[in-house]
């Protein structure tokens, strides 16, 4: 990526944090990737794909947008989900613009969260997604319903997957940014290290390959990452909660983990644009999703 010099005169420079909030599986990660122009967030058809707050940075000569993809809004059932929801509520504190994303046809929302968003006094952009799956009457009905919830919001109807009306949305976001100098270097794409993205790409393949509770019971930790001239050597540990889950991950005679390794390596090679050697191991950590110690180890923000 070409380096872009920092703006010396920031009087007319716009910059801000633009946070994407919505229910699980409404297309937040797809929208994030469209807006950033790179694959920053993993995408699957399964709910609760995103576990962390992931920032993607878009730079122009006179603006910088710091997007945040966030976990879907849910009622937490265990400590990890509690932490996921904390990423959502914490994102309200630094937001300059809220992108509230819903799927056309849905009416469910968290009343407390919506009220807190409306009290922020910042621009809200209501985005009705997946309009390619609905007819014109359904889109109009959805728009009328959500405009009653967010009467002061800008409203956009889009298809994040197909890129429909994304350019118009980008232009509006830039126009709403406050006057600020850049928060990050102008050649930055994200604030996350490479190991994080590698672990997410492995987890994406787990979500695609395994069914039922398995993907939600796995945490991926990249334990070694060594760049050589012609290859990147990566060692990753897959933590599961039960011995039976470990057996499913490995599969008969190692067939499942072999396929996982092949697919994950291909995805990582496409991301890094370099040959990859990937070594996957599996370890049981009983009830890790409810362990404060293990949640800290896995990079979740634990506070009293």
Q: Looking at residue 139, which CATH number applies to its domain?
A: 3.40.50.300
Tell me whether residue 1 is in a domain.
Answer: no
Those residues with Cβ within 8 angstroms of residue 114's Cβ, 6 or more apart along the chain or in another chain:
100, 149, 150
Tell me whether residue 159 is in a domain.
Answer: yes
Domain limit, last residue, from 109, 144, 176: 176
Rounded to two decimals, what is the model's pTM? 0.84
130 and 226 co-located in one domain:
no
Helix (H, G, I), strand (E, B) or coil at 5: coil
Distances (CA, A) of 105 to 37, 130, 169, 300: 27, 9, 20, 33
Q: Is 112 exposed, middle or buried (0-12, 13-18, 19+ CB in 10 A)?
A: exposed
Number of domains in the chain: 2
150 and 203 co-located in one domain:
no
Query: How far apart (Å, rounded) are the C-alpha atoms in residues 42 and 37?
Result: 13
Tell me whether residue 146 is in a domain.
Answer: yes
45 and 110 co-located in one domain:
yes
22 and 108 co-located in one domain:
yes
198 and 168 co-located in one domain:
no
80 and 216 co-located in one domain:
no
pLDDT at position 45: 63
pLDDT at position 1: 37
Tell me whether residue 6 is in a domain.
Answer: no
Within a 10 A sphere around the Cβ of 230, how many other Cβ atoms? 7
Tell me whether residue 257 is in a domain.
Answer: yes
45 and 118 co-located in one domain:
yes
Tell me whether residue 216 is in a domain.
Answer: yes
CATH number, domain containing residue 263: 3.30.300.20
Size of the chain, expressed as the number of residues it contains: 304
Residues 62-102 pLDDT 10s? 999 999 988 888 888 888 888 888 888 888 999 999 999 99
> Any idea what DSSP says for residue 80?
H
Residues 232-259 pLDDT 10s? 999 999 999 999 999 999 999 999 999 9
Cross-strand pairs, 54: 69
Distance, C-alpha 160 to centroid of its chain:
14
Q: Which residues of the chain have pLDDT under 50?
A: 1-9, 302, 304
Tell me whether residue 44 is in a domain.
Answer: yes
Tell me whether residue 184 is in a domain.
Answer: no
47 and 160 co-located in one domain:
yes
43 and 163 co-located in one domain:
yes
∠256-51-73 over CA atoms, to 5°? 125
Domain limits for position 123: 14-176
22 and 114 co-located in one domain:
yes
pLDDT at position 79: 83
56 and 118 co-located in one domain:
yes
Asked whether the beta carbons of 222 and 203 are under 8 A apart, the reply is no
197: enclosing H helix or E strand = helix 194-209
Within a 10 A sphere around the Cβ of 243, how many other Cβ atoms? 10
How many angstroms separate the most distant Cα atoms in the chain?
63
172 and 204 co-located in one domain:
no
Domain limit, last residue, from 121, 143, 176: 176
Domain limit, last residue, from 150, 176, 202: 176
Query: How far apart (Å, rounded) are the C-alpha atoms in residues 51 and 71?
Result: 5
């Amino acid at each position: 990526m070409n380096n872009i010099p920092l703006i010396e005169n920031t009087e007319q420079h716009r910059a801000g944090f633009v946070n994407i909030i919505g229910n699980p599986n409404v297309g937040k990660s797809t929208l994030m990737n469209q807006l950033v122009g790179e694959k920053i967030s993993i995408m699957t058809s399964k709910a609760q794909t995103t576990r962390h707050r992931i920032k993607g940075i878009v730079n122009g000569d006179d603006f910088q947008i710091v997007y945040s993809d966030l976990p879907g809004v849910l009622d937490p059932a265990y400590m990890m989900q509690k932490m996921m929801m904390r990423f959502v509520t914490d994102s309200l504190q630094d937001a300059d613009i809220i992108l509230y994303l819903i799927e056309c046809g849905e009416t469910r929302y968290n009343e407390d969260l919506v009220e807190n968003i409306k009290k922020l006094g910042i621009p809200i952009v209501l985005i009705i997604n997946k309009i390619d799956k609905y007819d014109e009457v359904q889109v109009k009905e959805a728009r009328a319903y959500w405009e009653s919830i967010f009467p002061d919001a800008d409203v956009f109807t889009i298809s994040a997957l197909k890129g429909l009306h994304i350019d118009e949305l980008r232009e509006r976001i830039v126009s709403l940014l406050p006057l600020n100098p850049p928060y990050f270097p102008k050649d930055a794409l994200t604030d996350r290290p490479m190991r994080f993205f590698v672990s997410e790409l492995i987890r994406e393949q787990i979500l695609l390959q395994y069914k039922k509770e398995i993907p939600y019971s796995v945490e991926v930790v990249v334990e070694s990452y060594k760049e050589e001239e012609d290859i990147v050597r990566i060692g990753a540990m897959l933590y599961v909660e039960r011995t039976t889950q470990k057996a499913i991950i490995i599969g008969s005679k190692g067939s499942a983990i072999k396929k996982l390794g092949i697919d994950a390596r291909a995805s990582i090679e496409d991301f890094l644009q370099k040959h990859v050697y990937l070594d996957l191991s599996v370890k049981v950590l009983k009830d890790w999703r409810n362990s404060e110690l293990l949640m800290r180890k896995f990079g979740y923000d634990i506070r009293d």
